[in-house]
Amino acid sequence: MLDLKEISYQPQTGERKIIDNLNLKVHENEIILICGNSGSGKTTLLEIISGLTKPQKGKITWKNKILSSRQRRWFCGVVFQFPERYFIGTTIGKELKIGHRSLREKNIEIVLNKVGLKKINLTQPPEQLSGGQQRRLAVAVQLLRNPSILLLDEPTAGLDYSMRNDVKNLILDLKNKNTIIIVTHEPALFEGIPSRILFLEKGKIKNFMKENHAG
């Protein structure tokens, strides 16, 4: 279980805390959704969980073991908003291999099959994929790292209806096999996926409900 205890974060240049004494538990292989307005602290929370931002207060544990920021950077796979803007590989194959000294072709095949890109041409440039396929590729890049937790920041942002369904179906395929935290300002798009919906406001979790009771 991932356990965040009394997490607080305030930028050096900011007057208010972006994350304020926040507590959160996420069970292994659970999918939760965190929603909130712009500026509520959703992306900052993902950055803290993934070790990219260090909180001034609190601790984060996984299975009762305290994790440092450096450990969490290896522990979590993060797909930030509009991940296709950050592709640097000239081909899909090269994009998948970035950061790996050695990577078996079988591992690539397994992951691509998991994200629904089994028949993709690895010599094709990533920008030639559809928007939904690019999001699937971004998830594949992270899954190759074999993270314990997958963090998705506004995974359907900027996509049309069919591409949004493409991403939603991907998350459904990963359900019960991965611990996933999704942040969004449009929770209705993910109906039927998370076990819980959390509301983040001014750095605090104000409310939560089981997904099947969400309106």
Give the pLDDT score at 210.
61
Q: What is the CATH number of the domain that holds 124?
A: 3.40.50.300
Report yes or no: 167 and 135 within 8 Å, Cβ to Cβ. Answer: yes
Alpha carbon 79 to its chain's center? 5
Interior angle at CA 145, CA 139 and CA 146, nearest 5: 90
Q: Residue 5's beta-bridge partner residues?
A: 59
Percent of the chain with pLDDT over 90: 69
Report yes or no: 158 and 131 within 8 Å, Cβ to Cβ. Answer: yes
Give the C-alpha separation, 33 to 171, whole Å: 12
Helix (H, G, I), strand (E, B) or coil at 172: helix
Percent of the chain with pLDDT over 70: 96
User: Which domain does 191 fall in, by range?
Assistant: 2-213
Interior angle at CA 31, CA 3 and CA 172, nearest 5: 160
User: Does residue 13 carry a pLDDT above 90?
Assistant: no
Q: How far is CA 18 from CA 15, 89, 170, 202, in A?
A: 9, 34, 31, 7
More confident residue, 103 or 33: 33
Q: Band the pLDDT of 65: cuts 50, 70, 90.
A: very high
Q: Is the pTM for the entire model greater than 0.85? A: yes
Helix axes 131-143, 161-174, angle to 10 degrees: 20
Q: How far is CA 165 from CA 34, 63, 81, 159, in A?
A: 19, 33, 17, 9
Q: Which residues contact 36 (CB under 8 A, 6 or more apart)?
A: 42, 183, 185, 199, 200, 201
Q: Band the pLDDT of 14: cuts 50, 70, 90.
A: confident
Helix (H, G, I), strand (E, B) or coil at 32: strand
Q: Band the pLDDT of 208: cuts 50, 70, 90.
A: low
> Nearest-CA neighbor of 48 among 56, 36, 38?
56
Structural domains of the chain, count? 1
Beta-strand pair 57-62/2-9? antiparallel
Q: Band the pLDDT of 209: cuts 50, 70, 90.
A: low
Give the pLDDT score at 202.
84
User: Does residue 61 carry a pLDDT above 50?
Assistant: yes
User: Does residue 57 carry a pLDDT above 70?
Assistant: yes
Q: Band the pLDDT of 129: cuts 50, 70, 90.
A: very high
Report yes or no: 205 and 22 within 8 Å, Cβ to Cβ. Answer: yes
Give the pLDDT score at 213.
44
Give the C-alpha separation, 7 to 180, whole Å: 19
Report yes or no: 26 and 38 within 8 Å, Cβ to Cβ. Answer: no
Task: Summarize pLDDT for 85-112 with one digit per residue, the tens.
Answer: 999 999 999 999 998 878 889 999 999 9
